[in-house]
Every structure is written in structure tokens, then in C-alpha cells.
Chains A and B, each alone.
Chain A
Amino acid sequence: RKEVEQDPGPFNVPEGATVAFNCTYSNSASQSFFWYRQDCRKEPKLLMSVYSSGNEDGRFTAQLNRASQYISLLIRDSKLSDSATYLCVVPRAGGTSYGKLTFGQGTILTVHP
């Protein structure tokens, strides 16, 4: 299993739709997880952090299933501005891994009118 693996996508949804992405991780010792959003030709920006079972922020909900080692991101009432690549990110574990992040390959979301 890859360290971090995401739904291949791409996802094309109409405005107002609900869409969910999944991400699996291989290191059972991982304690924290992140969803980043990356717009074309830009740096990634933090969308949500997940430390326990889940997190909710407005239209965005992230859930963590430690037993199955996956994290999901749910976007409700999609907006055109949600179109971006969503990156699942897991910090590396271990003593020499301070600050090192492993990125999933990303899932492309396109929201159309």
C-alpha cells in the first residue's frame, strides 16, 4: 500500500452537489491528518486538520476511520470556487521526521454551473 493514496478522480459535479473524497494511509501510527487545497499553479493551502474522529467547518467535513486507516472529505453544496485539487496529507512519523509531510497524489474537483 502507498503511504498516502487518494481517489483518482477527476470529479465533475454541478453546483450544489455533495461530493466526497477518500484517502487511505499505510502507517497505523499516524496521529494527525490534513486536507489541503491546491489551485492551479499555486502552493497548497491548508483546508482542514483531523486529529480525532473528525472535523467540520461549514460545508466541509473530514472524518477519520483509524481501524480502516482512511480519511474522507465531504463537501456539501458545492460552489464553483471549490474547483481545485484536494490533497490528502499525512505527517511522517518518527524521530527524524519533524515537519516532513507525505502528500497524496491529489483529487481534481471541477464544479460546473
Chain B
Amino acid sequence: GAVVSQHPSWVICKSGTSVKIECRSLDFQATTMFWYRQFPKQSLMLMATSNEGSKATYEQGVEKDKFLINHASLTLSTLTVTSAHPEDSSFYICSAPWGSGETQYFGPGTRLLVL
């Protein structure tokens, strides 16, 4: 069964609104979670690392004020896309590492469409 869930699975919103995506680890605690973004016909690109109890760290080129990350508990990380624009339309996937970090559990992804 799924060990990492995401909600919602898809969302359509108007330009300028904010969208929150939740990522939950179901059977284990995850002090670290990752957020990836995948544009059509491209591969997954790491956006940021969500850290429970401390600030998220962002990859180069990812705006921290636009993609707000909150690791509220050991089983929940949220990504909020603020003031979304059509170019933010993408497939957002979270993952949680296990053990040494080489085993990753991926969420099922959230498809965002900004009109």
C-alpha cells in the first residue's frame, strides 16, 4: 500500500490565487521530505528540501517566497504555491527518504493547472 500520500491529486485554480499541497508519510516519521516538479516531457527536478523543525532549503533558481514549505509535523509537509501563474502549472511530487536516504517513497503527485 501507499506509504506517502498527497492531497489534492489535482487542482485547477485561477491566476493569482494560492494553492496548498499536502504530503503525508503514512507509516513512518519523516524528518526530511522533498518536493519535486515535473513539466510535460521533462524529468523530475528537485525544488526544495523540507525539514521538520527548521527552515526548508531551496534549490538554485527556486523562489522561496513563491513556494512556501512548512514541515508541520514528523508526518506532514505542505507546499504552498503563492500567487500562482500559468507557468506554475506542473506535476508536483513529494518524496520521503528512508534509512540511509537511498530508499525513497514517492507520493502519487499533484497535478496543478493555473488558468
Interface residues of B in 95-115 (CB under 8 A from A): 95, 97, 101-104, 106-109, 111
Cα A34 to Cα B104 in complex, Å, equals: 11
User: A32 to B103, alpha carbons, bound, how many Å?
Assistant: 11
Provide the main secondary structure of the chain B interface: strand
Say if the beta carbon of B44 comes within 8 Å of chain A.
yes
Q: Please tell me if the beta carbons of B111 and A103 are within 8 angstroms of each other in the complex.
A: no
Chain A residues with Cβ under 8 A from B102's Cβ? 32, 34, 49, 91, 99
Q: Is B34 a contact partner of A103 (Cβ separation < 8 A)?
A: no
Chain B residues within 8 Å of A46, by CB: 103-104
Q: Indicate if A43 sits at the interface (CB-CB under 8 A).
A: yes
Q: How many residues of B contact A (CB 8 A)?
A: 22
Interface of A is mostly: loop
* Residue interface bits A69-113, CB-to-B below 8 A is 1, else 0: 000000000000000000100010000101111111110000000
CB distance from A106 to the nearest CB of B (A): 5
Known contacts A100-B34, A100-B49; decide if A43 and B108 are in contact (CB<8 Å).
yes
Q: Which residues of B contact A (CB under 8 A)?
A: 32, 34, 42-46, 49, 57, 91, 93, 95, 97, 101-104, 106-109, 111
Q: Which residues of A come within 8 Å of B, CB atoms? A: 32, 34, 41-46, 49, 87, 91, 96, 98-106
- Of all A-B residue pairs in the complex, the 10 with the closest CB atoms, nearest first, are A99-B97, A99-B101, A43-B106, A103-B43, A103-B44, A98-B101, A105-B43, A106-B43, A43-B109, A43-B108
